[in-house]
Chain A
Amino acid sequence: MRTAAAPLAFGLIVLALWQTLCMAFHVPKILLPAPSAIAAAFGQNIPMLGADFVQTVLRSMLPGFAIGSAAGFLVALMVDASPFLRRGVMPVASLTGALPIVGIAPIMVMWFGFDWQSKAAVAAVMTFFPMLVNTVAGLEAPGAMERDLLRSYTASGRQTLEKLRLPAALPFIFNALKLNTTLALIGAIVAEFFGTPIVGMGFRISTEASRLDLDVVWAEVLLAAITGSALFFGIARLERTVTFWRPAFQFSTEKDMH
């Protein structure tokens, strides 16, 4: 609890400062709404925010996240089976990390239409490569000593994979999952800038911003922030439970972020 006090205090100070400055200098709403105004907008628009949440998070982001991550994992297993393929795929897959993949959004809208399918497709493509690269790297993680031990047990390739290499890859896989929550959310929201039915967090942010309803925009951003954090910490929590054997989780009580 003590470790949460300092960041909490800092957050409260920033909020208080923000509120005071807005009230003291009568900052116009179209520049920066006060935290109280944002909270009020959040409270008043619960049904609309709920509909946007369903459209963007439940319909677009989560299916894309699941499809992209699962496909990346499966392709990684296939690539791992052949050293030739691994040497060929990895440089290409790593290169995609440097590319602005979110730019495929207009192409996906053209292919899959305005509704959630195109957004899920963007999220799937964006999450595919980090999972592929991380899983392949994770399967390589066990050292020669561990592999030799399993070989001395005459373990088959499949047994080595199940007993040694997949567990060793788990930290890498969770790393990709955490990264992918943010990527999928960004993909789903940005894809809505290129055309959507009239619901969704990205749609709402861009239309309300152009109508200068900034408190509503901030409320959507707040919703996105809560969603992103909840997913991130949910997966971090799962990681702790599943990979409880890692030294980082056994000996440290303070730094549970990494």
Chain B
Amino acid sequence: MGEALRRTLPVIVVVFGLLVVWYGAAIVADLPAAQAAAPGTAPAALVGAALALERPLVPAPHQVAAALVGGIFQPITSPHSLVYHAAVTASSAIVGFAIAFVLGIALAIGIVNVRIFDRSIMPWIIASQTVPALAVAPMVVVVLGNAGLTGLLPKALIAAWLSFFPIVTSMVAGLRSPERLQLDLLRTYCAGSWDVFARLRWPASMAFLFPGMKIAATLAVVGAIVAELPTGAQAGLGARLLGASYYGQTLQLWAALAMASLLAVAAVAAADLARAVLVQARGGRL
């Protein structure tokens, strides 16, 4: 009890402090608009009006929460349903993550086993991260559109590109993590390179894979959202963000952003769940 409180109390205090600051900012920013809408209102009523504007400059937390809940509990066929938009974004994020996962692990195995791969490709993989991949998103979408590929696949490829890197690097580090001593032990058992891989390197790499997977999961969501921006997509959280910003619908905008955050948190939670399942299967250790 004491330990749990010691941990959670500071977090609660900080979150509460942030909410207070947020409300303060909302009141300060939206007071002029409320005043302009109804001149001569009493100051107390004015604060209430500032926190209930339809298009506030800074929406109050409860307004965002209401817009989020309202968007989630729409019928799923409605174009205002945040669940529908999140599902569109999630589907390209998931496909992209799956592509990155398979290719990333395959390439990591290649890099660890084939010396020339390591020497020639690894520096390019690191260098590729200094390129702002999201900037390439519009081009990838347009190019694949010209090639007749529209819909989910171009967005998935952008998500894959982003999440590819953390998977490769964490997997390379993981496959290389066994120490000399452990490798020597296997050699004394006359283990072949396949046995070294299957019994030592692969199991050892899992502890490294999951932190990379969490980053990759977030990046897949970010990639899917940004891929929806430049294409005039009709559906998806990115399209929702763009549309809301076009028409100055601040509450919609913040609600879409909150939904995107929930989706990203869910993606990380899924990676954590996968880890927990593996730990369970291995009898409590990773």
List A residues at the B interface (Cβ < 8 Å): 3, 6-7, 9-11, 28, 30-32, 84-89, 91-92, 95, 97-100, 102-104, 106-107, 109-111, 181-182, 185-186, 189-190, 193-195, 201-202, 205-206, 209-210, 212, 214, 217-218, 220-221, 224-225, 228-229, 231-232, 257
Contact = CB atoms under 8 A, between A and B. Distances in A.
A98 B253 contact: no
A189 B134 contact: yes
Contacts of A214: 139, 142-143
Contacts, number: 164
Contact of A189 (B119, B132, B147): B132
Interface residues of B, number: 60
B21 interface: no
B245 interface: yes
Contacts of A189: 132, 134-135
A42 to B, nearest CB: 15
A32 B138 CA distance: 14
Interface in B220-277: 221-222, 225-226, 229-230, 237, 241-242, 244-245, 248, 250, 253-254, 256-257, 260-261, 264-265, 267-268
B138 A206 contact: yes
Contact of A110 (B57, B123, B267): B57
A31 B147 contact: yes
A102 B119 contact: no
Contacts of B254: 107
Contact of B135 (A106, A186, A232): A186
Contact of B123 (A7, A87, A99, A212): A7
B20 interface: no
A18 to B, nearest CB: 14
Contacts of A228: 130-132
Interface string B1-43: 0000011011111110010000000000000000000000000
B194 interface: no
Contacts of A88: 9-14
B129 interface: yes
A209 B131 contact: no
A221 B120 contact: no
B116 interface: yes
B257 A92 contact: no
A100 B139 contact: no
A106 B256 CA distance: 11
A205 B135 contact: yes
A84 B9 CA distance: 9
* A interface: dominant SS: helix
Given A6-B116, A100-B222, 9 more contacts: A10-B124, A91-B11, A107-B253, A107-B257, A190-B134, A193-B229, A210-B138, A212-B142, A220-B135
Nearest to B219: A100
Interface-centre pick from B12, B122, B214, B230 (highest chain A CB count, 10 A): B230
B218 interface: yes
Contacts of B13: 84, 88
Nearest to A95: B265
A118 B255 CA distance: 20
Nearest to A218: B139
Contacts of B127: 229
B130 A103 contact: no
Contacts of B248: 110
Nearest to B147: A31
A206 B231 CA distance: 9
Contacts of B12: 88
Given A30-B146, A31-B143, A189-B132, A209 B218 contact: no
A239 to B, nearest CB: 15
Contact of A217 (B122, B139, B267, B268): B139
B191 interface: no
Contacts of A10: 120-121, 124
A87 B10 contact: yes
Nearest to A107: B253
B76 interface: no
A194 B123 contact: no
B135 A98 contact: no
Contact of B138 (A185, A205, A232): A205
A6 B114 CA distance: 13
B66 interface: no
A186 B10 contact: no
A70 B248 CA distance: 32
B11 A110 contact: no
Contacts of A212: 142, 146
Nearest to B245: A106
B71 to A, nearest CB: 15
Interface in B118-170: 119-124, 126-127, 129-136, 138-139, 141-143, 146-147
A225 B244 CA distance: 31
A229 B126 CA distance: 10
